[in-house]
Structure 1
């Protein structure tokens, strides 16, 4: 007699694709991608990857040094290479992208669910200390940083599967993300 409790092929594919799909956090620098990402990874039993940290480790130098020695175009190429690696090799992780990654990587959805952490520019300025701003090459000129923010905001919104208000506690953002994953994909892991 055939076994009747064998799951359908569709159920198996949906389950494995959902469980193994990454979660990408996008947003402007200082929006909380790394902080939210760490807690989200912990609460959803996933690994956590920070693209900027990954690039710094692979290059053996800081991002400001990369910008200074090789320029922004070189750094964006490193982001593209990181995205290609993540699309083929990384599963079941929470990934904090660099703020400019959605500008140069148009296949974010091939890497995972894309969540935009939206925060007003004024709140970003409150979060980032002058010392931290000095370490961020694109933040040296506040007028240009605001212009960059406004341009990127449209791209973030277009790329995102969901946009979350990041002007609240990390725990609230994580809980809303987990609820969204459960409601839309039937799983938080």
Structure 2
């Protein structure tokens, strides 16, 4: 199935949801955030799912979400959670993968204390940095294109140019 989906990957706080919403509007298409989809389906927050059911249960929810996207979603901008590509390496089956790359230090600057508190894997900064380094390699390997998300305007333009070339 040629889905024409664009899947935005990147670490927590890399701008996937922000870029995805704006991009979908500019391309006159739909936007889907897998974390929001899971929260809606489960009727609870990701942090609550992690706390009560554990990470493995959440990853299984992501896999279920991926199967639905792969089989049912077309022409959509999709933002996936930071661990999604790590636990679902077959992500490309659902569309072209765009890695929004941001340095760890810039992610810290972007996120408020409240945002960090909401993210279960971001409670220990040393562990978060270790996780960032590990995931960066995976994101890069799985990506069809890597875009440094240093400027929203430039990022949107680069993705639109890429998308125009693959449609």
* 1:121 pairs with 2:121: no
* 1:69 pairs with 2:52: yes
**Gapped regions of structure 1 (runs ≥ 5):** 1-15
Deviations 1:121-171 (A, max 9, x none): 000000111111111100000000000000000000000000000111x22
**Alpha-carbon separation, structure 1, partners of 2:55 and 2:160:** 34
**Which is higher, the Rg of structure 1 or of structure 2?**
1
**Alpha-carbon separation, structure 1, partners of 2:150 and 2:128:** 19
* 1:133 pairs with 2:116: yes
Selected match of 1:35 from 7, 14, 18: 18
Selected match of 1:142 from 98, 104, 125: 125
**Alpha-carbon separation, structure 2, partners of 1:46 and 1:84:** 21
Aligned residues: 167
CA RMSD for the aligned pairs? 1.1
Structure 1 position 104, deviation (Å): 1.0
Selected match of 2:140 from 157, 164, 167: 157
TM-score, reference length from structure 2: 0.97
Structure 1 position 108, deviation (Å): 1.1
Runs of 4+ with >3 A deviation:
none
Structure 1 position 62, deviation (Å): 0.2
**Gapped regions of structure 2 (runs ≥ 5):** none
**Alpha-carbon separation, structure 1, partners of 2:164 and 2:120:** 38
The match for 1:179 is 161
